[in-house]
Structure 1
Amino acid sequence: MAAWQFSVVLIPASWAEENSYSSSALYDEEGYDTECAWKSRQPASEFKTVLSEVLPSSKSWSAKLLTWGNEKEHDIQVWFESETIDGIHIRLDLNQNLNEIIIKVVKAAKTLSCVLFFPEFRSVVEANEFELKNGIKKSNAAKFVTNPQEFLNEISKKT
Structure 2
Amino acid sequence: MNSGLATALKRIKFRLMAVWQFVCDLLPSSAARIDGVIAARMSREQLDGIELAFSPSAVSAIFERVCLLLPEKQSWYPDLRIWGDEKTDDVQIGVREAQIEGVQFRLNVADLRMPLVGDICLLARDFECVLATRGGAILRPYSESVVRAIMQSDAACYVRNPEGYLREAIQRDPETK
- TM-score bracket, normalised by the shorter chain, equals 0.7 to 0.9
Structure 1 residue 25, shift from structure 2 partner? 6.0
CA offsets 1:96-137 (integer angstroms, 9 cap, x no match): 1421211111111112221111113x1112110111001100
Using structure 1 for the length normalisation, give the TM-score: 0.86
Amino acid at match of 1:15: A
Matches of 1:13 and 1:70, distance apart in 2: 28
Amino acid at match of 1:104: D
Size of the alignment, in residue pairs?
153
| Structure 1 gap ranges (5+) | none
Say which of 45, 53, 61 aligns to 1:27: 45
Q: Secondary structure at the match of 2:124?
A: helix
| Structure 2 gap ranges (5+) | 1-16
5 Å matches for 1:67-86?
67-86=82-101
Contact 1:50 1:111 in 2 (8 A): no
Structure 1 residue 18, shift from structure 2 partner? 5.3
Amino acid at match of 1:116: L
> CA 1:37–1:25 in structure 2 vs 1: closer, same or farther (change >3 Å)?
farther
Matches of 1:25 and 1:144, distance apart in 2: 24
Amino acid at match of 2:146: L
Matches of 2:77 and 2:112, distance apart in 1: 29
2:113 corresponding residue in structure 1: 98
Using structure 2 for the length normalisation, give the TM-score: 0.78
